[in-house]
Amino acid sequence: MAKLKTKFACTDCGTESPKWLGKCPGCGAWNTMVEEKETVVKTQGQGSSLIQTKEKPLSIIHIDSGQEPRIETALQELNRVLGGGVVPGSLILVGGDPGIGKSTLLLQTSHALAVKGLTVLYISGEESVKQTRLRADRLGALTDTLYVLCETNMEQINEAIESVQPDFLVIDSIQTVYEPSVSSAPGSVSQVRECTAHFMRVAKVRGIATVLVGHVTKEGAIAGPRLLEHMVDCVLYFEGERHHSYRLLRAVKNRFGSTNEIGIFEMGEAGLREVSNPSELFLSERPLGVSGSTVVASMEGTRPVLVELQALVATTNFPSPRRMSTGIDHNRLSLIIAVLEKRMGMFLQTQDAYLNVAGGVKLDEPAVDLAVAVCIASSFRDAPTRPFDVVFGEIGLTGEVRAVSRAEQRVKEAQKLGFKRIIMPEKSLKGWSPPTGIEIIGVETVAQALAAALG
């Protein structure tokens, strides 16, 4: 007979406990344990039977190592992030803030694949088919082989997959789908885990490329158990500021490509538009001849991106000065300010320091350190930098400038956009020849960089 069992599961990491706990023993989060009920059916010989599989173990040298065939979409930025296109049978998880454009991106992708002759099934659990049609009219995504269904019951979804036999499947979103045999509510840890496992089996057995849309928490992480991100093949985050039209698609996990790639889009009335030259877009409104403004060459995956950094240093009357940054780690800003105070003799203890990355981009590589230091020094001394300078390099605690990777690609991107001078680490000049027509200044310390940029 079926027995009703009560347990408590963490909504962040999925840790289960037979009783309620204020603090999750798995991830340490507070007030995340929720009650769930499951039905346990005792069967004869349970635990002694093994799962029967038809496949037999193979020697690794006898396994075909051919490349996985990829399906290229019409969105080259999406192909870049995925590693060259969609892999058949892959399971992809897309997360992002509400209203950021996840459904728009996937509907445009579905239309692009349907135009190429593939059968696409778009299942929405949050919008009706009429609402989806209205968005498709606005985006111009109308194709005979693009099927739309509004359903959240897993059994009905299975029937739709059987009847349509799609090549590409979209589930929007995984938190709204529920399995009738699981007694917990949709969006709970048990439901999300069970439904994701089912779609993973569908993708692998039938060879259907499946995309799951995931909700995010207030902190920006994908809601549900951490197991969700481990089960899928690729995890994509759709990022962007509400007050900016730019959107960034970033891969944080990809079994079929690099995890450092980003795709840049611009949201418009007709949907998302690809940005082929993001450097020119981010520098289009850059002021010239103003102190506290510097251009940095940052690497996002295999793509060099030129972005403007803006700093403002102002006197404060409070005993503890403020350190605020947007787009760069706050701790990194404090470290660079400490280096300027100790090694350069700048008295910043009575100064508030504000740093902003123009365009809403997030930079997390150490090569932006030198540009941050030049920005802060420029604002502190009220001395503008040259308008056609590009600065990049990593700063050590002793004030030295360390080498960074892919310096040649950064220099070529700056030259392509018309910049005249590059201030970069001296050690990054080894192993390649700088192009003609652009001045390269190699520096070994922060003092040399400031003298070259502000002298």
pLDDT tier, 202 (very low <50, low <70, confident <90, very high otherwise): very high
The whole-number average pLDDT for the span 78-102 is 91
Cis peptide before 258 (omega within 30 of 0): no
pLDDT tier, 38 (very low <50, low <70, confident <90, very high otherwise): low
Q: Is 97 annotated as a binding residue?
A: yes
Residue 432 has pLDDT above 60, yes or no: yes
Q: What is the pLDDT of residue 51?
A: 36
Q: pTM score, two decimals? A: 0.76
- Range ranked top by mean pLDDT from 65-69, 241-245, 277-281: 277-281
Q: Is 359 annotated as a binding residue?
A: no
Return d(Cα 217, Cα 223) in angstroms, integer: 5
Tokens of 200: 């993973």
**Closest CA relative to residue 413, chosen from 424, 427, 397:** 424
Return d(Cα 398, Cα 19) in angstroms, integer: 52
Q: Is 163 annotated as a binding residue?
A: no
**In the 8-state DSSP scheme, what is residue 69?**
P
Q: Are 7 and 23 in contact (CB under 8 A)?
A: no
Q: Is 99 annotated as a binding residue?
A: yes
Q: Is 418 annotated as a binding residue?
A: no
Return d(Cα 397, Cα 233) in angstroms, integer: 39
Q: Are 422 and 414 in contact (CB under 8 A)?
A: yes
The whole-number average pLDDT for the span 70-86 is 90
Q: Is 102 annotated as a binding residue?
A: yes
Q: Is 101 annotated as a binding residue?
A: yes
Other Cβ atoms within 10 Å of 35 Cβ, number = 11
91-96/234-239 β-pairing = parallel
Residue 49 has pLDDT above 70, yes or no: no
Q: What is the pLDDT of residue 302?
A: 79
Type of residue numbered 455: G
Q: Is 100 annotated as a binding residue?
A: yes
pLDDT tier, 68 (very low <50, low <70, confident <90, very high otherwise): low
- Cα torsion for 140, 146, 147, 149, to the nearest 10°? -50
The whole-number average pLDDT for the span 271-276 is 88
Q: What is the pLDDT of residue 54?
A: 64
